[in-house]
Amino acid sequence: ATVIPVSPLKPPAHVEDYLRADYLHPEAVQAQGADVAERRFRAVLRRLQLPPSFTCVRYNSLHVSPAEAASLLGSHVQQHGQVCGGEIPVLHHPQVPDILLVPVLETRVQQEHGLPQVVVAVECGNAVLRGAHVYVPGILAAPKTMRAGDRVAVFVDIGGQCRRGTVKPLCGPVLFVGNGVARLSRAQIFLKDGVTSGIGVSMTEPLYFSPSFENLPPSIFFPQNLPCVLAGHVLDVRPGLRVLDMCAAPGGKTTHIATLMGDTGEIIALDKTAAKVQKIQNNASRLNLKSIQTFCCDSTQAIASGPHTGKGLLWWVGHPPFPEEYFDRVLLDAPCSALGKRPCLGFPASLRQLQSYAPLQRKLLAAAVALLRPGGVLLYTTCSVASAENERQVAWALRTFPQLHLVAQEPHLGGQGLPGAGLDPQHLRLLQRFDPGSETEDGVCGVSTTPRAPHNLDRAITDTIGFFMAKFTKLPISPQ
């Protein structure tokens, strides 16, 4: 089998072509210059396979002060510091008040030949690169002789050629992600009545080190990517508002909104899958939030129709579908291709699947506009870097709904929108794009050649997941 280092990994041709059309669009090239546009595109492709420079942890500001949160998290993090041979800082963000940042440290651990080889699935490998241990469901292969307590080398099956339970150690292209200690024997993992959950391998020498957050107080801390936390602030909520989160699972943004509103007001969280609704409920419960109402509902069908629609609310019974123009704030964190998720060691979606999200996003945008009251705020977000799901959707919304207007976002930490969707420069400046290919501390587009500096907060903004935000307000339609 071929053991591939992280740096040369290459996405499938259809993914590369899909993103090239955005980053090397003639308008983008004209705005940035051909060399900068090309470097930015190549940097995006490479950085998508690497973890961000910082792990972001949101704390429950209803229960702890910033100082108390930093002290609690700092104590937890320092218990893990010996793994990387030094103290790990816990940092406040100067512009986002309810998060703490922990640097992700590149350990440069080397593959150690002769160790038993454990092969894991891609999703498991993604989690390991962000600081997780290897859990049993993610293990695909292990040697017959592996026993609990053995030191092992962990590889990711990036070629998708490894069948679960095989004894052949490396059966296709694989990626080394670190060394660890087996907690279970091979028999315990793969026998019919074996262990089906829990940690299978403790990662003692990961390629990238970030402390485990498993044992943090669940009512206080919630690991969440920085742009996702920022969305709650940009939505500009306050106590007493009616807020709709249209695609809310697993509930990170919903619970943040409830916290920002002092756990008051009317907060409705929808998802069309019952199991995902349960996750929202579980996260609300762990954070001791009472103001969130959850419903299993397809948000494209969340608008009441028939003779009872209109301004009157006496008929409404308190669950979906909702009257038109009922909500003061609407968050549409739309289903998307997730082409901003980091790290991403595999791209299983076909081109047809990538292209399938835009029509659904437009249906959801239409529902969001109908449910938003005049003067209200709609925040549209995705965790994708594809313009088809971002800037082009904004251009479509502005053409289709004349009552929608883009407004400034605060805080505005990301870059502006990507040219090429037909938006004018003023509109692009109002958008907020977190782009893994954006400028580094070296001052050039691309991956920095300097070591990850643990105190450099600039990288907390420039080296995040890919994420996009557009903030609209809805004006009354003037009578003709």
Structure tokens at 327: 């909500």
For residue 454, what are the CA distances in angstroms to 50, 66, 103, 386, 460? 16, 20, 5, 30, 10
CA 364 to chain centre: 20
- State the chain's maximal CA–CA distance in angstroms: 79
For residue 100, what are the CA distances in angstroms to 109, 185, 467? 27, 37, 19
Bridge partners of 247, per DSSP, are none
Query: Which H, E and C letters describe 374-389, residue by residue?
Result: EEEEEEEEECCCCHHH
> Residue type for 181, please?
V
272 close to 299: Cβ distance less than 8 angstroms: yes
Q: Is 116 annotated as a binding residue?
A: no
Q: Is 435 annotated as a binding residue?
A: no
Q: Is 193 annotated as a binding residue?
A: no
Nearest Cα neighbor of 182 from 143, 125, 215 is 143
* 383 given a catalytic annotation: yes
Alpha-carbon distance of 272 to 251, in angstroms, equals: 13
Q: Is 250 annotated as a binding residue?
A: yes
Q: Is 333 annotated as a binding residue?
A: yes
Alpha-carbon distance of 409 to 398, in angstroms, equals: 17
What is the bridge-based pairing of β-strands 3-4 and 174-182? parallel
Q: Is 38 helix (H, G, I), strand (E, B) or coil?
A: helix
CA 280 to chain centre: 16
Q: Is 349 annotated as a binding residue?
A: no
Alpha-carbon distance of 349 to 347, in angstroms, equals: 6
Q: Is 298 annotated as a binding residue?
A: yes
**Phi, psi (rounded to 5 degrees) for 330:** -130, 125
Q: Is 253 annotated as a binding residue?
A: yes
15-29 CB burial, b ≥16 within 10 A, e <16: beebbbebbbbeebb
Q: Is 271 annotated as a binding residue?
A: yes
Q: Is 460 annotated as a binding residue?
A: no
Alpha-carbon distance of 46 to 66, in angstroms, equals: 35
- Candidate list 162, 228, 336, 383, residue with the active-site label: 383
Rounded-to-10 torsion of CA 175, 181, 183, 184:
60
Nearest Cα neighbor of 151 from 195, 108, 117, 107 is 117
Alpha-carbon distance of 156 to 162, in angstroms, equals: 10
> Residue type for 280, please?
I
Annotated binding site for S-adenosyl-L-methionine: 247-253, 271, 298, 333
Annotated binding site: 247-253, 271, 298, 333
* Active site positions, annotated: 383
